Amino acid sequence: GAAEHNPALHRHQQRRRLPGPSLAVPRHVPRVNLHLGRVQHFRLGSHRIPRRHLHVVAVQVVGGTVIVIMLPLVAKTTQPASYVFTHFETTPEVTGISSGAYAVVLSLLVSQYSLYGYDAAAHLTEETKGADKNGPIAILSSIGIITVFGWVYILALTFSIQDFGYLYDPANETAGTFVPAQILYDAFHGRYGSSTGAIVLLFIIWGSFFFGGLSITTSAARVVYALSRDRGVPFSSVWRKIHPTRKVPGNAVWLCAAVCALLGLPILWINVVFTAITSIATIGWVGGYAVPIFARMVMREEDFRPGPFYLRGASRPVCLVAFLWICYTCSVFLLPTVYPIKMDTFNYAPIALGVVLGLIMLWWVVDARKWFTGPVRNIDEQIDHNAGGDGNGNVKV
């Protein structure tokens, strides 16, 4: 659905978009996000971003391949296929959740985090040649690569589990909170009596976190820039400024990095804040896509102008599946993930979402509706300036 609608979004680049989550190791979130802003502003000009992203993809593909191949080979014992594909664990002693059905519902949320990559491709289409065709291809390629590598990575971890009961033990080497790291530790320590190999592989994973944060910061800065062009955020004149030499929205980059760092500060003391932030950000992100997808579902076929990437007869069924998935994920992200519900385990995403939506609606009623008239079209003005138009978007030939 997102791929098919990308050409339509590209034709109206000033549409409102919502930023997604910025994920990193919680303890280092503020410092990491400020460093991401520094890299975005000082190290990457707009002409360097595509080349650097190719390097990042190469590093992550190679690093991920090393982990997937090496981990099962190092592990002294591996789990049988029957355990990997048919065994079911709920760990009620850790999460308080004993219902298998509820555990399955929550487990599907992991895929929503990892599928975030295609959103960055959509936000960067206006910096892409042939965006109406290459944008959808990038979206589908991102989903395909993530699906294959993510599934293989999960299989490598699952096959390499040494003692499942020890993974969540508070007395283990990762305090029972970082299961992938514990699997790596058990494999290398069990084979060599040392954790050095596990630490090396963890650096590859942490590097992926950083590169993922870099991509998300790029995407979020473009969202702020697009909203600022429409004068849809306070101090829009500041955030829509482009750096004269690096050709990036530097002020928007620093705003995103600073906001992420400030939001990350409470995570140093309260872990549940991380769940709330990622939940509300993901709801805002996927919820934004629900609007054009639903509009496509109810739009008359004769009123729809397809681009070069068009699903034809499969369009409405795909949109229906996408819309139902969005409704499902937005609902589940508001559910508790740990029981019993207490102050330090409560999912504060519903409260945070209500507060944000309430403030936005209040701003609209009190002030924004008086001056915000929708997306600002500047394409016609550029055509008139370059081609000698009459000021109404008509080019003189």
pLDDT value, residue 189 = 92
Whether residue 394 lies inside any domain: the answer is no
Token pair for residue 316?
A: 């409405």
pLDDT value, residue 112 = 67
Residue 2: pLDDT band with limits 50, 70, 90: very low
Instruction: Tell me the C-alpha to C-alpha distance, in Å, between residue 117 and each of 123, 124, 144, 211.
Output: 11, 12, 11, 11
Range from 108-112, 217-221, 358-362 that averages highest in pLDDT = 358-362
Whether residue 135 lies inside any domain: the answer is yes
Classify residue 366 as exposed, middle or buried by CB count within 10 Å of its CB (0-12, 13-18, 19+).
exposed
Classify residue 74 as exposed, middle or buried by CB count within 10 Å of its CB (0-12, 13-18, 19+).
middle
Q: What is the pLDDT of residues 275-331, one digit of tens each?
A: 778 788 778 878 888 888 898 888 888 888 888 888 888 888 999 998 998 888 888
Whether residue 391 lies inside any domain: the answer is no
Token pair for residue 115?
A: 């599928």
pLDDT value, residue 20 = 31
Lowest mean pLDDT among 60-64, 318-322, 389-393: 389-393
CATH number at residue 366: 1.20.1740.10
CA-nearest of 290, 317, 6 to 137 is 6
Q: What is the pLDDT of residues 223-263, one digit of tens each?
A: 888 888 888 888 888 888 888 887 788 888 888 888 888 88
Lowest mean pLDDT among 36-50, 86-100, 316-330: 36-50
Residue 160: pLDDT band with limits 50, 70, 90: very high
Contact 89, 164 (CB under 8 A): yes
Whether residue 276 lies inside any domain: the answer is yes
The region that residue 176 occupies, defined by phi over 0 for left and psi between -120 and 50 for alpha, beta otherwise, is: left
Residue 75: pLDDT band with limits 50, 70, 90: very high
Whether residue 58 is predicted with pLDDT greater than 80 in this model: the reply is no
Q: Backbone phi, then psi, for 389, in 5-degree steps?
A: -85, 180
Token pair for residue 315?
A: 């369009």
Residue 79: pLDDT band with limits 50, 70, 90: very high
pTM recorded for the entire structure? 0.71
pLDDT value, residue 341 = 82
CA distance 279 to 219: 18
Whether residue 159 is predicted with pLDDT greater than 90 in this model: the reply is yes
Contact 238, 251 (CB under 8 A): yes
CA distance 142 to 148: 10
Please provide the average confidence, as pLDDT, over all residues in the chain. 76
Whether residue 17 lies inside any domain: the answer is yes
CA distance 236 to 196: 49
Whether residue 34 lies inside any domain: the answer is yes
The HSE-up count of residue 66 (CA atoms within 13 Å, CB side) is: 14
Q: Number of folded domains in the chain? A: 1
Q: What is the pLDDT of residues 95-152, one digit of tens each?
A: 788 888 888 888 877 666 666 666 666 666 666 677 777 778 888 887 887 788 888 9
β partners of residue 389 = 395
Whether residue 21 is predicted with pLDDT greater than 80 in this model: the reply is no
Whether residue 86 lies inside any domain: the answer is yes
Whether residue 393 lies inside any domain: the answer is no
CA distance 62 to 56: 10
Q: What is the pLDDT of residues 161-215, one digit of tens each?
A: 998 888 888 888 888 878 889 999 999 999 998 889 999 998 888 888 887 777 7
pLDDT value, residue 28 = 43
Q: What range does the domain containing 96 cover?
A: 2-383
Contacts 24+ apart (CB under 8 A), 221-225: 221/40, 221/248, 221/249, 221/252, 221/253, 221/255, 221/256, 222/123, 222/124, 222/126, 222/249, 222/252, 223/17, 223/18, 223/19, 223/123, 224/19, 224/249, 224/252, 224/255, 224/256, 225/249, 225/252
Whether residue 392 is predicted with pLDDT greater than 50 in this model: the reply is no
